[in-house]
Amino acid sequence: MCGIIGYVGKEANALDVLLKGLSSLEYRGYDSVGVAMFDRMHRLSTVKCAGRVAELEKRVQGSGDSYCGIGHTRWATHGAPSDINSHPHGSANLQIVHNGIIENYACLKKELTELGYTFVSDTDTEVAAKLLDYYYMKRRGHFDAVCETIERLEGSYALAIVFADDSGTIYAARKDSPLIIGIGEDANYIASDITALLFKTRDYYSLEDGDIACVKADCISIYNKGIEVKREKQTAKWDHVAAEKGGYDHFMLKEIHEEPEAIIRTLRPRIKDMLPDFSADKLDEDALKRISRLHIVACGTAMHAGLIGKFMFEKYAGLPVSVEIASEFRYNDPIIDENDLVIIVSQSGETADSLAALRLAKEKGASTLGIVNVIGSTIANEAHSVLYTYAGPEIAVASTKAYSVQTSLLTLLAIRVSLLRSRIDEKEAREFTHELYVDAPRAIKEMLERASEIKALAGNFAKSEDLFFIGRGKDYYLSCEGSLKLKEISYIHSEAYAAGELKHGTISLIDDGVPVIALATESRLYGKMESNIREVKSRGAEVTLITNAESEFKSADHVIDILPISERLAFLPVATVLQLIAYFTSTERGCDVDKPRNLAKSVTVE
Ligand code: AGP
């Protein structure tokens, strides 16, 4: 996510506050940075660049200090990282910094172009800035111009705004993207979160959706729908390190809790009238209709997300899908041609094996599509087309929210392809989309509220040296991810096994007390899974069952019954449960959850 900071005060130390605040926001992940400040002659100027805060510091050296300014660290969502796409954006009259996604930016851009506006960047934020300039130029007062602009914006935003002819005020507005007003002595602040301000103040107001704040050195006014409102003053109890994690003990736990919002943020721009709509992504839908085979190629968790995609495309779009480990694909001389679509799934967009697989697929004439979380990354740039996930930066090495958004986006794409290939009608597509966009985030939230129940179970696993996951169908694919999560952060040896395959060898490893986690969410396979549970229990296993139908099972020792959700999407709350099991097991064992031994967040070498 982007980071926002703002200062207005009676002392000329805006630059110092902005730079310190931006450095405090670096943990959020970013690719570019910028500030807009008034000099002592009240002239507004902007300095911005791709790269780190340190680069910005070099560029602002000697620029003197200021009584008022705003700053921004950018996590690109529209437009690759570059100086010109960095924030702030604006005009001679104003400057804006923004965190969020303006979903109707394309039509607003067209309208403003017809009004004579020109654009220098590829960002949605510049569109918001020019729209504000339009209302400002229509002789609207600052506040009224902000209100009229906000009225026109669709999507999510946290905005900080300064007008060139008012060096004593910062305007702030929020919808769906957090924004706070820091309360100081003879100064006030704006920030994406309190982390950026702890060096100055612990007291703040959290803006609510629809709030517009006018912030001056000695007063803060907050309005909602034109009426002045009072927001409760809050005081941060966290230290800086805890604040970076939003009060969670680890980035991984914070990111697991971000999953519902991350899914909604990723799907929302691709749903119109509760049907999949990828027109904003400019997908080649003729190619999607024409292809005869689909390959999903990735590594690690991204490959496991591909397995869920396989299930969805095969079941709903009737497309044969092969899921390939990228490091194998690139050396196995795969049989692909122009009738194939190769989807490369990658959170970082920089994984060496996945990038090599992409290049090989292109050489062989296949169409390629990247599903990537980092805007402007190499895989995103080199694939023929790209669908960005909007999970925000994933700091923990163990991938969690990326998996949730990758599987959700693959499912939405499978629904779209099913419609294109007339495999389902609009009624079913609308139902399925509603389940994905509304029910699944809710089900994940409900499982997150039961974290203490899951934590209690994890205590059993922490003492184990071997642990088995078993499942059938989609649950087997899910077992693969649950096993990887556990291994990589708790260092417990674990295997995921197709439950029906156990008797062909691995069951010899089951002995007294060996923990087995069984997944059963597909009704057609409940009976088979009950038999497999009995099979391992009879050899001494201690079985924890994660299911959506507790009453169908009699033999498990422990049961986590997920709350009602369509069984075709039960994998999403179950994935969250598996991530929490891995997390709590790891913390119980005293492992380094966010930075496990031997691992890197992005494997950019073979
Ligand atoms: C996930 O928990 C792992 N850290 C790892 O398997 C990761 O999924 C894999 O390296 C792929 O990374 P990517 O999604 O950035 O391509």
In tens, the pLDDT along 385-429 reads 999 999 988 889 999 999 999 999 999 999 999 999 999 999 999
In the chain, the percentage of residues whose pLDDT exceeds 70 is 98
- Distance of CA 491 to CAs 28, 318, 437, Å? 27, 39, 34
Q: Is the pLDDT assigned to residue 1 strictly greater than 70?
A: no
**CA-proximal residue: ligand 1, atom 4 (nearest):** 398
- Cα 105 to ligand 1 centre (Å): 32
- Cα 8 to ligand 1 centre (Å): 42
**CA-proximal residue: ligand 1, atom 7 (nearest):** 300
- Closest ligand 1 atom to Cα of 398: 2
- Closest ligand 1 atom to Cα of 602: 15
pLDDT score, position 563: 81
Q: Which residues of 369-399 are buried (b: 16+ CB within 10 A; e: fewer)?
A: bbbbbbbbbbbbebbbbbbbbbbbbbbbbbb
> Stretch 372-378: mean pLDDT, rounded?
82
Are 521 and 569 spatial neighbours (Cβ–Cβ below 8 Å)? Answer: no
First-to-last C-alpha distance (Å) of the chain:
29
Q: Which residues of 490-506 are buried (b: 16+ CB within 10 A; e: fewer)?
A: bbbebebbbbbebeeee
Note the pLDDT tens digit of each residue in 51-74.
Answer: 889 999 999 887 778 999 999 998
Cα–Cα distance between 447 and 228 in angstroms, integer? 37
For the record, the structure tokens of 39 come out as: 């000099």
User: At 269, is the pLDDT very low, low, confident or very high (cuts 50, 70, 90)?
Assistant: very high
> Stretch 343-360: mean pLDDT, rounded?
94
pLDDT score, position 231: 92
Assess whether 216 carries a catalytic annotation: no
- Cα 599 to ligand 1 centre (Å): 10
**CA-proximal residue: ligand 1, atom 9 (nearest):** 300
pTM of the model: 0.77
- Token look-up 């969410």 returns 521
Cα–Cα distance between 381 and 395 in angstroms, integer? 22
Are 217 and 232 spatial neighbours (Cβ–Cβ below 8 Å)? Answer: no
- Closest ligand 1 atom to Cα of 354: 16
For the record, the structure tokens of 407 come out as: 């599987």
- Cα 601 to ligand 1 centre (Å): 7
Sheet holding 515-520, edge to edge: 493-498, 466-471, 515-520, 542-547, 558-561
HSE of 7, CA atoms in CB hemisphere, 13 A: 31
Are 72 and 54 spatial neighbours (Cβ–Cβ below 8 Å)? Answer: no
Average pLDDT, the chain: 93
- Closest ligand 1 atom to Cα of 397: 4
Are 542 and 370 spatial neighbours (Cβ–Cβ below 8 Å)? Answer: no
Are 342 and 372 spatial neighbours (Cβ–Cβ below 8 Å)? Answer: no
Cα–Cα distance between 370 and 382 in angstroms, integer? 9
Q: Which residues of 24-63 are buried (b: 16+ CB within 10 A; e: fewer)?
A: bbbbbbbbbbbbbbbbeeeebebbbbbbbbeebeeebeee
For ligand 1, residues with CB inside 6 Å are: 299-302, 346-348, 351, 354, 397-399, 488, 599, 602-603
- Cα 298 to ligand 1 centre (Å): 8
For the record, the structure tokens of 370 come out as: 């990247």
Note the pLDDT tens digit of each residue in 496-546.
Answer: 999 999 888 889 999 999 999 999 999 999 999 999 999 999 999 999 999
Annotated catalytic residue, options 445, 455, 528, 601: 601
Assess whether 601 carries a catalytic annotation: yes
> Stretch 269-279: mean pLDDT, rounded?
95
Cα–Cα distance between 126 and 114 in angstroms, integer? 16
DSSP for 339-354, written as a single string: TEEEEEEESSS--HHH
